[in-house]
Amino acid sequence: MRQCVIDESAHFAVACAIACRQLTATSTLMQAKYWPAANAEPIAWQVTVTDATAVLQNLSGGIGIDSASGILAPNPISAHALVDDIEVEPLCNPILGYSVALVSQSFQFTEGPLWRGDHLLFSDITGNTIYRLDPPSSISVFRAPSDQANGLIMDGGALLAGEAATRRISTTNLMGVRSTLVDRYQGGRFNSPNDMDLRGDGTLYFSDPDYGLSNPPLQRELPHNGLYRYRAGALTLEWAGVVGSNQPNGVQLSRDESVLFVTDTQQGQLRRWVVAVDGSLSLPVVLQSGLAVPDGMCRDGAANIYVAVSAGVEIFAPDGARWGLVPVPRVASNCGFGDADGLSLYITARQGLYRARRP
């Protein structure tokens, strides 16, 4: 969205907001609203148009200006409008042009893709192994057994892993020594820590659904499926998902770390929390419902959110608006960007590992 000021004279100023989003390869959503600059911005868009004109799709940008006299009474613009502070950028639908290729299909249940310098790490939960991919296709064992590691993330030089078998978040230092970072909440052992993301100040957010309790059967010690915040030894339960109704799963911070996105696999939802300065979460909102098996997530350089679902990877704008689907032959479980240019989308999908590229 871009904001501007329409200023006919020193005595009259109107603020405006214009949003333009490529919905599909053949349709564009355009929205606009205008209001007296001295007033608060209205919540609702006053103009909403979906345009399918072929020559207007996927252009680098454009500006349209109207006098908007009808909504500015009793002070209509009758002669001209001066427009300042306009920025134009590509419409850049992130789903356009993706080509998906199989890297390998010799696994049992892949998860947790993590680009680490010049190689990719990813988990095979059922295979009890963390693998290493040296692009384009050289795969070796990084750690076995992995204690059914799932999500992976770097904390400085340390590797953090959510482990189902040990019911903990482990940390592995540069010497390869693995230890427990956190494994209990109020004395009760976690269910099976799943996915996580790390804020710049060291605050760790992680999900703890109960998938790992069933294979092999393990005793539940907590009355919820949780979303947690951990920093410097302090653990906070941010969301107590209801057992049998909620399975918090994928965890992803926004680019500016002001928002935390979480998938609820059981409800088929993408949820969002506002992140306070102290790291606490508030104002939960369901951004999307009806998703088919939403799992792990990643984001691109434009702050779009990529959610692994049964048919592939769904892509959403930061406000939750849907861009579309990158289809994958198997049920996708997670995703992450990698390669030297950071532009390859790696997708873990049950027995397979895939790489998606745009031209």
Classify residue 320 as left (phi > 0), alpha (psi -120 to 50) or beta.
Answer: left
Backbone torsions φ then ψ of 215, nearest 5 degrees = -145, 95
pTM value? 0.78
Do the bridges between strand 322-327 and strand 312-316 make them parallel or antiparallel, or are there none, so unpaired?
antiparallel
Helices (H), 235-274: none
Structure tokens at 281: 């979460």
Quote the pLDDT of residue 30.
Answer: 78
CA quadruple 71, 50, 292, 254: dihedral, nearest 10 = -60
**What is the full DSSP assignment across 275-318?**
EPTTS-EEEEEEEE---SS---EEE-TT--EEEEETTEEEEE-T
State which H helix or E strand residue 130 sits in: strand 129-134
Q: What is the mean pLDDT of each run of 10 residues along the chain (359 residues)?
A: 42 64 74 77 81 68 45 54 50 78 96 96 97 97 96 96 97 94 97 97 97 84 97 97 97 96 98 97 96 96 94 92 92 97 96 92
Instruction: Tell which residue, 81, 21, 7, 25, has the closest CA to residue 319.
Output: 21
Contact (Cβ atoms closer than 8 angstroms) between residue 41 and residue 33: yes
Q: How far apart are CA 289 and CA 279, in angstroms?
A: 26
SS3 (DSSP) at 72: helix
Neighbouring C-beta atoms of residue 269, cutoff 10 Å = 17
Alpha-carbon dihedral 134, 137, 352, 228, rounded to 10 degrees: 10
CB 224 within 8 A of CB 300: no
Residues 99-357, CATH architecture: 6 Propeller (2.120)
Q: What share of the chain is helix, strand, coil (3-state, %, to 5)?
A: 5, 50, 45
Where in the chain are the domains?
2-84, 99-357
CB 238 within 8 A of CB 248: no
Q: Specify the pLDDT at position 288.
A: 94
DSSP class of residue 211 equals G
What confidence score (pLDDT) does residue 238 get? 98
**Helix (H, G, I), strand (E, B), or coil: what is residue 257?**
coil
Burial of 8 (0-12, 13-18, 19+ CB in 10 A): middle
